[in-house]
Chains A and B, each alone.
Chain A
Amino acid sequence: MRICVGLSLLVALPAAAAPPPGASSCAGCHGGGGMPVLAGQPAEAIAGTMLAYKAGRGSPTVMDRIARGFTEEEIRAIAAWVSAPR
């Protein structure tokens, strides 16, 4: 009986691909209010831009300060997730 309850919860809530660490925060700014929309952009381009900012290249106002909080691996995972159209 109790195990059944657990199973019914599982069925009721199928797991979608969870965002990698940091990715869900991006929508606070990048959602169509004026800043670049990320969904639908090539993941490679997003990752490349973030990695450049992390390395101190380019002249963003705030994204350099944010990019420095992530490893290259994390940046690539975030880029893949935010670039997916949803």
Chain B
Amino acid sequence: MRRRALLGAALLAAPALAQAAPKVVVIGGGFGGATAARALHRLGVAVTLVERDATYLSCPFSNAVIAGLREMEAQRFGYDGLRREGIAVVLQAARTVEARQVVLADGATLPFDRLVMAPGIALRPDAIPGLDTEVMPHAWRAGPQTLLLRRQLEAMEDGGLVVLSAPANPYRCPPGPYERASLIAHHLKTRKPRSKLILLDAKDTFSKQKLFEEAWAALYPGLLEWVPLSSGGKVVEVDAAARVVRTEFGEHQAAVANIIPPQSAGRIAQAAGLTDRSGWCPVDPVSFESRQRAGVHLIGDAIIAGAMPKSAFAANAQARVCAEAVAALLRGEAPAPPKLINTCYSLVEPGYGISIAGVYQPANGLLADVPGAGGVSALGAPAATRAAEAGYAEDWFRTVTADAFG
């Protein structure tokens, strides 16, 4: 048995590998990739991280930046911590993935025994006719878009209409649009009280819905209106120059429009042939190895994770499980079936936090909810509980960013 496992590893290993420590390349230095690089390094693997940008800007808490409650500086992370630990960091875009090597933008190649990819998402603004994201920002990747939307809100006159649109499932951060609507509503309530926000939704139900609706009724009555799919929530086209948003049922004249378009796995995943017809990457739920390409593992927003949402918490948890699996496979062992946890906090106003949690395990080729576990914060909970959860959200952010970036 043991002998056969060894032989398996030997057959997988390239001849060039003889005597050398196994090489793993990680593409993408976000919550998934940076965590994976550090976890692999701790496991004794020689790892090289390939990341396009020198600075990582965190999406978690970026809704607070949009609402003027937080500065972009607090979202900024870099790779010096990884370098100090001895992880090789290559600041370049990966262009393609060949049989056993990654080709970088400048044409250089990085050989690997196994590859881990955490490229995040690609946005598909072309799916909404007329959309110009420089006029109607998505702000669904933290950066200039985040600040553009913030400036538009700051410049808007009191009495203006803010239109926000949420995409159909699946997409990055299921509760994110509703947290954003809440915090923009807080901004309007405190600074531009004659204004209004309409949240157009391409779905009829959403994450933490009852908790958000409870909070909206208490905090933002008459200010925040949610329009579900069945009431005309789906955006069919926009006129960016005129700031008009058209739905199946009518049109809205916006002062500020924040259109969050449909998404798919990051482009490099498509280029490497790792996506299926859904635009996302099917993986084995034990090893996170691609179902379409042996030796390549994927984690984070890019994957089809079954019940597990596309969150930074999930990407971080998947990264550690994937690192263990990669190390086991390099030793010629089979990775053990994992369990994974997710917890996502949302703010509905400063000091008012709500959460959703889940525990997941491999089942039927996907990650499935462990029955009886998980769920959302209690409805009608006292203000002290909401305040505690708002504090835990910040604790989580400090911990997870330190875990990913050192």
Contact = CB atoms under 8 A, between A and B. Distances in A.
Interface of A: 1-10, 12-16, 18-19, 21-22, 24-35, 61-62, 65-70, 74
B402 A33 contact: yes
Interface of B: 6-7, 9-11, 13, 15, 17-22, 43-45, 313, 316-317, 320-321, 324, 327-328, 330-333, 336-343, 355, 357-359, 361, 370, 372-375, 377, 385, 388-389, 391-392, 394-400, 402-403
A65 B375 contact: yes
Given A9-B330, A12-B21, A24-B324, A34 B395 contact: yes
Given A15-B333, A69-B370, A69-B373, A34 B11 contact: no
B330 A13 contact: yes
A32 B373 contact: no
Interchain residue pairs A-B with the least CB separation, the first 6 = A69-B359, A69-B373, A34-B395, A33-B399, A33-B398, A6-B10
A6 to B, nearest CB: 3
A25 B370 contact: no
A9 to B, nearest CB: 6
Given A18-B328, A62-B377, A68-B373, 13 more contacts: A1-B15, A3-B7, A7-B6, A9-B332, A10-B6, A22-B359, A24-B320, A24-B324, A28-B403, A29-B396, A31-B399, A69-B370, A69-B372
B333 A35 contact: no
Contacts of A6: 6-7, 9-10, 13, 332
B276 to A, nearest CB: 27
B336 A5 contact: no
B316 A28 contact: yes
B67 to A, nearest CB: 22
Contacts of B327: 13, 15
A35 B396 CA distance: 8
A32 B343 CA distance: 17
A19 B75 CA distance: 30
Contact of A62 (B15, B17, B320, B355): B355
Contacts of B21: 12-13
Given A10-B331, A13-B330, A69-B372, A19 B399 contact: no
Contacts of A70: 339, 359, 370, 373
B395 A33 contact: yes
Contacts of B370: 68-70
Contacts of A19: 320, 324
Contacts of B338: 21-22, 24
Contacts of A15: 327-328, 331, 333
A68 B372 contact: yes
Contacts of B385: 61
- Among A3, A28, A65, the one with the most B-chain Cβ atoms within 10 Å of its Cβ is A28
Contact of B373 (A9, A21, A26, A66): A66
A21 B6 contact: no
